[in-house]
């Protein structure tokens, strides 16, 4: 199924460009070559060789248009080009990061006159119909009256054509299903809108979702049920319909800024009143939704810095993302809040060929965000299922290895996480399977609300009042021509009683 295996060795650091070879200058019509109009400029005191860029040629692009490749090359005809410029390495990584190409090589060849050079970008294309995500797992569920159900399955898939007709346009969608839950997504992105340097993107979504509240000691009052009925969990059902539209632009060769407007209609039903035990006290449950019909309207800005050498199975580089979102109450939003978060990751290529990744996250919400925008413990603990396309499948509380009050918390307005992942390459190929790595990860996370910070649950003291816990995972990551896949054991370990959630 895959290509012939090759010995696993450290990924070499790309070498600076060599001086141009003596190949005669040619300008094939489909190569994207450009003609120089300026004389050579030499930089005094520089050790590296410096040339005037006479043209740029794109080779190997049987499907992708040359202009799409050139969109990710920051150099222009007439620019002074230093063979030791780190932008050359970043350009290669940026082209690889598009997911359009299996390999990218940058070389120089001699220009039409002394001191000029032509930059040759040689690409090896890959399949661009990719599976962005594939979900399959187990969860514990509850019905509308809060009665516990046995383990149920959930699944989903997210697929995209990331280079439609060689234009760089992305067209994709996703679906996720579980008992009584459904999520649908469709999205579009054009990185050269009207042949400019602006990216335009849009997404439509629909969710028929449920969420669970309480840790097994819930008292629910609803006119349709007997007064004071005690049950394991309170259930909120809600539908979301809407989408977002936005634009993005480069801020340097490795940084991009996006601005998005989002609008959703929400319809929610949940018990008229419900309470649960918090520590040794009984407190009302906040469902984090407006009963009946409501509107969510926000403006979101994000800044992404990315120097990874690969979008999946990266071996070196950094990825930093900053996000700020504010609800537009003057435009009719029923959820006044602001959200700030940051994530930073760094990959180290170790001398013996293995890879270490360090990752950190911090986020804060100020105001009244809807429940699906708050931080969920399952998004940080590998032993609980993540939310999938906004759906939450599991009713269990956090595993709580450290025996803190994290066992009382499901959602919060503040979250932080640090994580380390170690990868051991097992296989490298060149056909349908590009790589298989064994990985192990360990980390610590915290999730809390304002109340958890100012008035911790009663019955806890000392370190136990810090809402944090540990997380870990073990499995394999596989990069294929259809996308990257991660298969971990942690979700299944979460059903073993010694690893299960609880107070």
DSSP code per residue over 268-336 = EE--SEEEEEETTEEEE---SS-SEEEEEEEEEEEEEEE--S-SSS--SEEEEEEEEEEE-GGGT-S--
Phi, psi of 466 (to 5 degrees): -95, 110
Query: Tens of pLDDT along 300-320?
Result: 999 999 999 888 899 999 999
Segment (H or E) for 122: strand 116-125
* CA-CA-CA-CA dihedral for 369, 372, 376, 379, to nearest 10: -130
∠ CA 386-207-276, nearest 5°, is: 60
> Which pLDDT band, with edges at 50, 70 and 90, does 48 fall under?
low
> Which pLDDT band, with edges at 50, 70 and 90, does 3 fall under?
very low
Rounded percentage of the chain residues whose pLDDT exceeds 90: 52
Q: Please state which of the ranges 11-25, 269-283, 359-373 shows the lowest mean pLDDT.
A: 11-25
> Which pLDDT band, with edges at 50, 70 and 90, does 324 fall under?
very high
Domain with CATH 3.10.20.310 in the chain: 1-126
DSSP 252: S
Average pLDDT, the chain: 84
> Which pLDDT band, with edges at 50, 70 and 90, does 150 fall under?
low
Q: What is the pLDDT of residue 98?
A: 86
Q: Which of 469, 365, 473 is nearest to 407 (CA)?
A: 469
SS3 of residue 473 by DSSP:
strand
User: Could you give the CA distance from residue 74 to residue 250 in angstroms, rounded to a whole number?
Assistant: 10
Q: What would the DSSP string read from start to end of 376-439? A: EGGGT-TTSPPPBTTB---------TT-SGGGG-SEESEEEEEEEEEEEEEEE-SSSEEEEEEE
How distant, in Å, are the alpha carbons of 62, 66, 173, 311 from that of 73?
18, 11, 29, 18
CB-count exposure of residue 44 (10 Å: 0-12, 13-18, 19+)? exposed
Asked whether the predicted pLDDT for residue 36 surpasses 50, the reply is no
Q: What is the pLDDT of residue 22?
A: 43
Q: Please state which of the ranges 28-32, 154-158, 344-348 shows the lowest mean pLDDT.
A: 28-32
Q: Can you tell me the mean pLDDT for 60-86?
A: 90
How distant, in Å, are the alpha carbons of 56, 82, 243 from that of 17?
14, 9, 45
Asked whether the predicted pLDDT for residue 436 surpasses 90, the reply is yes
> CA 130 from chain center: how many Å?
15
The token pair at 378 is 């399952």
> Which pLDDT band, with edges at 50, 70 and 90, does 146 fall under?
very low
The token pair at 234 is 């309170």
Q: Can you tell me the mean pLDDT for 52-68?
A: 93
Q: What is the pLDDT of residue 317?
A: 93
User: Could you give the CA distance from residue 263 to residue 100 in angstroms, rounded to a whole number?
Assistant: 31
Q: What is the pLDDT of residue 55?
A: 93
Asked whether the predicted pLDDT for residue 490 surpasses 50, the reply is yes
Q: Can you tell me the mean pLDDT for 101-109?
A: 90
Query: Tens of pLDDT along 161-215?
Result: 999 999 999 999 999 998 889 999 999 999 989 888 899 999 999 999 999 888 7
> Which pLDDT band, with edges at 50, 70 and 90, does 287 fall under?
very high
- Contact of 198 with 71, CB cutoff 8 Å: no
- In the chain the first and final C-alpha atoms are separated, in Å, by 47
SS3 of residue 449 by DSSP:
coil
Q: What is the pLDDT of residue 363?
A: 98
Asked whether the predicted pLDDT for residue 37 surpasses 90, the reply is no
Asked whether the predicted pLDDT for residue 474 surpasses 60, the reply is yes
Domain with CATH 2.40.160.50 in the chain: 129-499
Q: What would the DSSP string read from start to end of 195-250? A: GSSEEEEEEEEEEEEEEEE-SS-EEEE-TTS-TTEEES-EEEEEEEEEEEEEEEEE
Q: What is the pLDDT of residue 226?
A: 55
- Contact of 344 with 384, CB cutoff 8 Å: no
Q: Can you tell me the mean pLDDT for 287-294?
A: 95
- Contact of 163 with 169, CB cutoff 8 Å: yes
> CA 15 from chain center: how many Å?
30
Query: Tens of pLDDT along 353-392?
Result: 999 999 999 999 999 999 999 999 999 999 888 899 999 9
Which CATH number is associated with domain 129-499?
2.40.160.50
Rounded percentage of the chain residues whose pLDDT exceeds 70: 84
Asked whether the predicted pLDDT for residue 34 surpasses 70, the reply is no
Given the structure tokens 């499907």, which residue do they identify?
63
**229 or 76, which is more confident:** 76
**42 or 96, which is more confident:** 96
Which CATH number is associated with domain 1-126?
3.10.20.310
């Amino acid at each position: 199924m895959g290509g012939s295996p090759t010995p696993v060795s450290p990924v070499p650091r790309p070498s600076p460009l060599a001086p141009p070879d003596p190949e005669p200058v040619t300008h094939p019509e489909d190569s994207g070559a450009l003609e120089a109009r300026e004389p050579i400029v030499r930089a005094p005191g520089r050790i590296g060789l410096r040339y005037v860029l006479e043209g740029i040629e794109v080779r190997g692009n049987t499907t992708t248009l040359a202009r799409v490749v050139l969109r990710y090359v920051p150099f222009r005809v007439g620019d002074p080009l230093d063979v030791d410029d780190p932008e050359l390495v970043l350009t290669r990584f940026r082209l690889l990061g598009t997911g359009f190409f299996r390999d990218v090589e940058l070389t120089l060849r001699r220009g039409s006159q002394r001191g000029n050079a032509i930059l040759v970008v040689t690409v090896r294309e890959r399949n661009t119909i990719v599976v962005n995500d594939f979900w399959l797992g187990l969860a514990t569920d509850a019905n509308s009256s809060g009665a516990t159900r046995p383990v149920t399955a959930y699944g989903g898939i997210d697929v995209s054509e990331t280079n439609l007709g060689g234009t760089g346009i992305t067209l994709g969608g996703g679906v996720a299903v579980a008992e009584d839950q459904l999520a649908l997504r469709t999205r579009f992105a054009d990185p050269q809108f009207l042949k400019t340097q602006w990216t335009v993107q849009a997404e439509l979504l629909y969710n028929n979702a449920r969420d669970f509240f309480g840790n097994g000691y819930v008292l629910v009052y609803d006119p349709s049920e007997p007064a004071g009925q005690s049950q394991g969990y309170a259930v909120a059902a809600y539908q979301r319909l809407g989408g977002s539209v936005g634009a993005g632009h480069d801020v340097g060769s490795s940084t991009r800024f996006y601005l998005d407007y989002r609008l959703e209609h929400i319809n929610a039903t949940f018990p008229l009143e419900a309470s649960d035990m918090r520590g040794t006290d009984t407190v009302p449950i906040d469902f984090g939704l407006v009963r009946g019909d409501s509107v969510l309207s926000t403006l979101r800005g994000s800044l992404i810095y990315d120097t990874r050498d690969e979008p999946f199975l990266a071996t070196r580089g950094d990825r930093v993302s900053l996000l700020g979102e504010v609800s537009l109450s003057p435009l009719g939003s029923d959820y006044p809040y602001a959200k700030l978060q940051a994530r930073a990751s760094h990959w180290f290529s170790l001398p013996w060929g293995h890879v270490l990744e360090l990752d950190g996250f911090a986020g804060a919400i100020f105001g009244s965000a809807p429940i699906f925008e708050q931080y969920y413990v399952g998004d940080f603990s590998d032993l609980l299922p993540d939310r999938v396309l906004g759906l939450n499948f599991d009713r269990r509380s956090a595993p709580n290895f450290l025996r803190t009050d994290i066992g009382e918390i499901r959602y919060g307005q503040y979250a932080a996480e640090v994580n380390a992942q170690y990868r051991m390459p097992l296989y490298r190929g060149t056909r349908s399977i590009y790589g298989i790595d064994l990985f192990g990860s360990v980390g610590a996370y915290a999730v809390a609300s304002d109340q958890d910070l100012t008035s911790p649950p009663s019955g806890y003291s000392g370190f136990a009042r810090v809402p944090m816990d540990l997380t870990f995972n073990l499995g394999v990551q596989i990069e294929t021509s259809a996308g990257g896949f991660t298969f971990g054991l942690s979700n299944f370990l979460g059903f073993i009683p010694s690893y299960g959630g609880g107070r």
